[in-house]
A and B are shown apart, each in its own frame.
Chain A
Amino acid sequence: MTLPVLEARLDEPSLEINPALTTRWLEAFLRDEMIERRGIGKAIIGLSGGIDSALVAYLCARALGPENVYAIRMPYRSSSASSLADAQRVIDALGIHGETIEISDAVDGYLKHAPDADARRKGNVMARMRMLVLFDQSARRGALPVGTGNKTERLMGYFTWHADDTPPVNPIGDLFKTQVWALARHLGVPNEVVDKPPSADLEANQTDEGDLGITYAKADRILNLILFGYRDDAIVARGFAPEEVRLVRRRVDSTHWKRHLPTTALVSGTAINEFYLRPVDL
């Protein structure tokens, strides 16, 4: 008699999240880090019409109350009308404050001195202009800018340094994009926002997955395995093409600098963050 053979699966760290528990955890994070540590009970968010900033708006409205959340839409002349409309859906659904501040004049005022700027440079100028506006509006309202970068784009370096990553608190920076989707669905973010292809909306027909060269579903699993220390051959053994693994690892390995503060020349035994070490919340 031949005995049945039970094949064990290859282990893979899970990307599933418990959305109810995650929501409670992130609400507590926002209240503790904003109200208790910084004494600021108002949030200001750059609301793009995409899923990341929509999710952050939902979390802030739950944690702080919708009356304490300011959503600023900052379109450039080439931004799609549907992005503005999607952002408005979020504002209406939550009952948070909404305001639209065009950045076209400010961006073009600089770009007329940079006629050779390509799409990437223009995109960076827009991102940095939005952060300038957001911080000025935060000072006007006594509201803390809240970050909207997710873990996938942070790891892939798919953001503008010292622009998207500048807000002092970020509730979703340790959530992969697929986890952002799961949480957004759980919280009732409008389907129009959740289901559309993610896009930086800097050029017509631009999508994140087109820019990155891989789907988020695949990228997130590969990133998760890389972060847990798996070698390339072990990741390929879990069902990925070698070129997909190489693409993702190359993006991570070439962007470590984007996840750090500027490199400072160490000349003393008291260099800040090297010898002089203090936590952010002391």
Chain B
Amino acid sequence: MHAALVQFKPRKGDVAANLAAMREVFAQLVPTDVELIVFPEAALTGYYLEGAVYELARDSREMVRTLGETWRAAGGSRPVDVVVGFYENVAGTFYNSAVYVRCDALGGAHAVHVHHKMFLPTYGVFDEERFLTRGRRLSVFESAFGPAAILICEDAWHALMPTVAALKGAQLIIVPSASPGRGLTGVEELESNARWKAILSSSAAEHGVYVLYAALTGFEGGKGMSGATCAFSPRGDLLASAGPLDPCIVSVRLDVGEVELARATIPLLGDLSAVLPDLWLDEEIPVRRRVEERA
């Protein structure tokens, strides 16, 4: 399966300009055999919107329809799957969402899955939960590659999230992200990007899954979105990585045989499946205790 990860630089709040930029990306990819195109978190508007999120958030059905039309307008005359991060308005409840869309050959499209970001960072330079509602469910769905899950940005920083996704059958984890870069002490890259790669590599290697990371780039009010769009193999190896600063496309080919090989060589996921019931029944785990208290 051929995937294209788009390191995207949106114009703040300018949906029409950003859709036009997506159309250009589509036009570049139409002649290829790409089957999955991944845009970052909040690609439609830029990340920091504060109260303007209520004006710029969109209905997911409208988002899906627009993507199908945009693929067609770019010359897309074959099916393709697209992931886009956007702020979603669900009847007045607002989410940081990523939709997995299947575009057909005729300008139509339907949503295969919508993930609502579950971990909304609200500390330091982040203020998401002031404006947004957190998602409540991590689901695995059938992607162009096979069983997949979407984790948006901080979702992926909690080791339990890729673990749950893998236990539910995911062989591919897609991570749309918008990460303000910080820490210029690193020898070769931003500290925050080095941290990202360590987390993504660890998630891929522990569970034998592909991890595809697509990130925003460009400055938003002094905060530089740190790019470093990248892909990790099911052994945790870095397959490709963009730099922090410029828009680009990271092209990666995925092979389900690699997932099987990684899991057969180091069967950590199988081990976890076997031990998990014992862990889950451990009465010292806080969540279990709270359930008992309610009972």
Instruction: Mark A residues whose CB is within 8 Å of B.
Output: 14, 16-18, 21-22, 24-25, 28-29, 32-33, 36-37, 169, 276-282
Contact = CB atoms under 8 A, between A and B. Distances in A.
B48 interface: yes
A279 B219 contact: no
Contacts of A32: 218-219, 224
Nearest to B245: A28
B187 interface: yes
Interface string B25-57: 000000000000000000000101111100000
Nearest to A282: B13
Contacts of A25: 181, 184, 190, 224, 244-245
Contact of B224 (A18, A29, A277, A282): A29
Contacts of A36: 218
Contacts of B224: 25, 28-29, 32
A278 B52 contact: yes
Contact of A18 (B12, B49, B50, B187): B187
B221 interface: yes
27 contacts: A16-B185, A17-B184, A17-B185, A21-B184, A21-B186, A22-B184, A24-B245, A25-B184, A25-B224, A25-B245, A28-B219, A28-B224, A29-B222, A29-B224, A32-B218, A36-B218, A37-B219, A277-B51, A278-B50, A278-B51, A279-B48, A279-B52, A279-B221, A281-B12, A282-B12, A282-B13, A282-B49
A140 B186 CA distance: 41
B258 interface: no
A87 to B, nearest CB: 27
B24 interface: no
Q: 3 smallest A-B Cβ distances: which pairs?
A: A32-B219, A277-B50, A277-B51
Pick the most buried of B46, B188, B222: most chain A CB atoms within 10 A of its CB.
Answer: B222
Given A18-B188, A282-B12, 8 more contacts: A16-B185, A21-B188, A21-B189, A33-B222, A37-B219, A277-B51, A278-B51, A279-B220
Interface size class of B (residues with CB under 8 A): 20 to 34
A36 to B, nearest CB: 8
B219 A33 contact: yes
A18 B46 CA distance: 28
Given A279-B220, A280-B221, A18 B185 contact: yes
Nearest to A183: B184
Given A24-B245, A276-B51, A29 B219 contact: yes
B253 to A, nearest CB: 30
A279 B49 contact: yes
A28 B218 CA distance: 8
Name which of A14, A16, A21, A37 has the most chain B CB atoms within 10 A of its CB. Answer: A21
Interface of B: 12-13, 46, 48-52, 181, 184-190, 218-222, 224, 244-245
B186 A282 contact: no
Interface centre among A25, A169, A279 (most CB of B within 10 A): A279
Contacts of B186: 18, 21
Contacts of A278: 50-52
B52 A14 contact: no
Contacts of B244: 25
Contacts of B187: 18
A281 B221 contact: yes
Contact of A281 (B181, B190, B220): B220
A25 B189 CA distance: 11
Contacts of A21: 184, 186, 188-190
Contacts of A281: 12, 46, 48, 220-221
A24 B246 CA distance: 11
A221 B43 CA distance: 38
A22 B49 CA distance: 26
A276 B52 CA distance: 9
A148 to B, nearest CB: 15
A13 B153 CA distance: 25
A37 B51 CA distance: 19
B245 A37 contact: no
Nearest to B53: A277
Contacts of B181: 25
Contacts of A18: 184-188
Nearest to A170: B222
B57 to A, nearest CB: 14
Nearest to B218: A32
Nearest to B190: A21
